Structure 1
């Protein structure tokens, strides 16, 4: 809350007061779609300019907005990320049955000698899911040094807040060795990942998923045939 107060240049007490107030949904939706006077004035000024100047100004505005959104990302120290991942790895190989089932999330960037590395992490006691920009896929080795080779990886197109166009994103999954291959298959199936082009680092998991999914598909087809026959 203190960071929000500093960013919006308001007092902390004012923010806390706003937090305690309720806003009618209809009023909130209306306010979201009504342009402010400032935006209206800006639009009117732009319309007075020729198209080339309009385009140039809009591109500059977009760059400034994207830079502002990037600055809102949380910077992380690489040692903090390593510590969290190492703790997760220790929990996976721990004999204790008391594990934190609450999901954890980290999203932001890490400062590396080569530049800033955008990432997103989500993990619980069974799965660690990481996202990197596809162009940064070589940095995967950094995380595999801490956690070992990943279980599954796949690519998706995602909208990133500080980039104007959709980006190809590399999704990497580490699945806990505490769960069986059947449970790992169920995770992939439940999250609709089997329809994607998955790359398996674990050949046993690849074999199990292929054969188990094929078996289930055959059984479903037989059941449908039996229903039609009836």
Structure 2
């Protein structure tokens, strides 16, 4: 059973820094535009208790004696949304952006649910999230892993959002204590600070890249968290005086 072909934003990026392309393929757009449906799957794949056992049996019938968890999940289909009954591997190959949307929304719903009430279609969305997470190139674009997003801008093509924040936040310390930093840091920190500041000072309405809009929000969120931590730390210090 071949793995799906994952289209990448930058195939030349180092392993672990490669991100799946979020733009739908022509095939995916054709399904949406023509409102086409995938074939109706066996009833067993539409039931939480029978879906994975059925997938495992199907794989064994194909000659795979010991199917992996990822292979079993790859037999499942999505019985909802704009690609009704699309197999999970097809989604990975054709519209990671839509997968990301479903998974991010699902995790948000789970965080807001009250008591023991289940989210609609929770089991299949849980499996979709697990399947997506099994591919590093897809996992990296999920909102839960935003710190691992790749910045991708000139001079910092393979740096993550987290790494850009760390360089940016060291700028004041470097100015105050330059001897604490090596030559490489003295060079990279000001450049990173300038690059990040460019996005922070650009009105969000002037930014066309979804990735950079999210980066801008990410940095502002980190700055806000730092302010809260500083205020709490100051309050504790005052309490002990």
TM class by smaller structure: under 0.3
Which structure has more strand as a fraction of its residues?
Answer: 1
Larger-Rg structure: 1
Question: Comparing both chains, which one has the higher relative contact order based on Cα–Cα distances under 8 Å and sequence gaps of 6 or more?
Answer: 2
* More helix per residue: 2
TM-score normalised to the size of structure 1? 0.28
Normalising to structure 2: TM-score of the pair? Answer: 0.27
